[in-house]
Amino acid sequence: MPGLIHPDDIEAVKERSSIEDVVREHVTLRPAGVGSLKGLCPFHDEKTPSFTIRPSMGTYKCFGCDEGGDVISFLMKVEHLTFTDAVERLATKLGMELRRTEGSGGDRQGMNLSGRTRLIEAHRVAQEFYEERLREPGNQRARGARDFLRARDFTGEDAAHFGVGFAPMGFSELSDHLRSRTFTEEELVTSGLAGRGQRGLYDRFRGRLVWPIRNAAGDTVGFGARRLFDDDRMEAKYLNTTETPIYKKSQVLYGLDLARKPMSTERQAVIVEGYTDVMAMHLAGVTTAVAACGTSFTVDHIKLLRRIIRDESDQAPAKVVFTFDGDAAGQKAALKVFAEDQRWAAQSYVAVAPDGMDPCDLRKAKGDAALAALVADATPMFEFAARTILARFDLSTPEGRVAASRAVAPIVATVRDPALRPEYTREVAGWLGMGIEQMQAEVARAARAPRPTESFQDQARRAGQGSDAYPNPGGNQPSTQAMYALPDLRDPLVHAERQLLQVLIQYPDMVDPSAVDAIPMDGFSAPAHRVIFEGLRAAQYDPARPLTAWIEQLRSTTPLSLHDLLAELSVADLPATRDESTGRPERRYVEALLQRVHEVALTRTIANLMVQVRQLDGGDQSDPTQTRALYSELQDLQRKLATLREEMAGR
């Protein structure tokens, strides 16, 4: 078995990995101050971005849910990886070969790839295998798969662009191929590519057209397979990879690897219902299209897309378009999506193709332009939902109109924009042919009605948003709040010492090491700040190495329970004027912070000496020599304080 990863290699992975590139696979970022980037947090739902990274430091911090750490902890949290898998994942991207401190055995590939990474590699090999089988000229079954694609106006180049392949009919052709590439039976079963039966290992997908399902990073993590032949024993039209350690269907979207960049640029997402619909949309120029894989569109999918399209309440609204069939099933699906509409800050729309055609059929019948028009002419989600409700009632009778107004009123009452609510009320009243006042009364009544309480599952999900940056073999570490009271930034003294710590962490070369040693510990009134400063003095800053190495030094000299606060201090923006030539804080700002901390320390020391002097003066057996010494020390400190304040006043 492979041993532990060599510590020097772990440090090298941190130094060489770009946290910006890793985070951008999950979050769309925009500039947020000098040297910082900001986006919607991937760890909790929010509409105003509070997730911040500082690429030069290699750290991140969410000021909404308090998550923070480095590139490894980010990958562990967002991809649900172990520490080892996260390091190996980063090393693979860097082309690094990791050394082990102990252990041996296994093939070379097994030494470099383990756990989750092995499963991803198995899927990569499987995709190549499926693509090769689709192109086999003498294979009649593969020809049937190619005919299926041609019948929908997809060429061989189109299939290659999307990685479409064909799973052969043989019992274990893929499994045999993967075993020849050193993958074990256990790995194949765990990956979902194979199963175990009475005859041994068998392929999960046989005689089907297959689409690779990729995660946000572009790794193939599963497959969707379409039934082609009548002799296929599996009746289901589509089969998907079962959930595995690398594939969670509620957290992946087909086509996202291709759509991510245009989504981010255009701030638009188009959600369709199938693999061929995604292909049709992209080939027609609608490159922001994606589809759920073997499940309905979920809240987790919403969170994923919101981070990509920058669905932020303080920005111009993004656009989300859902395509549905015009039948009852499509209407039901639209109402289900509308129920979660409040989770978006974006404007959401519904696109229903004429004659109930799906995008793939529409492209074949009317060409690429029809798909672009379908998206451009989409109906606002509210209007589609309201008209779907109203269609259930006979609006030609007074009773039908009243019943319809009561049924649609809760939809109007849930409109999140208070400026739009009166307009929608007026519009719905017009559709019903009734007075605006009557419709307003129904909406007001619906708004006052009690709403369902938060479900137990939602409470549990909210409560489970912890902030452990690294696994802790010894048990759960107490939180920062449990061990050290969080600094009260309403106190101007605490706020000043926080800023000094930010300077020392983010710009360690701005203050001479001797000046750092001269900073009095008593200058930090917040215990958490004092402990971090102690760790900072114990760390060794090397200007020849990147700042990520400096942060790692600080982590090693700071208690685990303060790592979140350390991450926050490493990314938080400084409220200071910047030097135009360097982008760093001005020197006088840094010097003012140093003087302020010195002033606090001197003031506190003087106050303590005053107490001792009063105690000696009030005693019956006071020592005159000791008293004179205290007075002398007190006067000396007071002179220093006066001089310091004069310097501060003259700045």
For residue 200, the SS3 value is strand
Tell me the mean pLDDT in the region 630-646: 69
For the stretch 393-445, pLDDT in tens is 988 888 899 999 999 998 888 877 777 889 999 999 999 988 899 999 999 99
Question: For residue 469, what pLDDT is reported?
Answer: 33
**485-651 is classed CATH 2.60.120:** no
**392-448 is classed CATH 1.10.3470:** no
Domain ranges of the chain: 7-107, 115-245, 248-379, 392-448, 485-651
CATH number belonging to domain 248-379? 3.40.1360.10
Q: How far apart are CA 166 and CA 158, in angstroms?
A: 14
Confidence (pTM)? 0.67
Question: For residue 135, what pLDDT is reported?
Answer: 94
Cα 550 to Cα 35, 196, 505, 512, 536, distances in angstroms = 17, 50, 8, 15, 10
Question: What confidence tier does 477 reach under pLDDT thresholds 50, 70, 90?
Answer: very low
Question: Among the listed ranges 153-157, 451-455, 562-566, 611-615, which one has the minimum average pLDDT value?
Answer: 451-455
The architecture (CATH level 2) of 115-245 comes to Alpha-Beta Complex (3.90)
Q: How far apart are CA 61 and CA 52, in angstroms?
A: 5
Query: Which tops the pLDDT comparison, 157 or 333?
Result: 157
Question: What confidence tier does 619 reach under pLDDT thresholds 50, 70, 90?
Answer: low
Tell me the mean pLDDT in the region 471-476: 34
- Residue 618, pLDDT > 60, answer no
Question: For residue 326, what pLDDT is reported?
Answer: 63
DSSP H helices, 273-397, are 275-283, 299-308, 328-338, 359-366, 368-376, 381-390
Q: How far apart, in Å, do the first and last CA atoms of the chain sit?
A: 64
Fold of 7-107: DNA Primase; Chain A (3.90.580)
The C-alpha angle with vertex 511 and arms to 506 and 512, in degrees rounded to 5, equals 135
The answer to whether 336 touches 296, Cβ cutoff 8 Å, is: yes
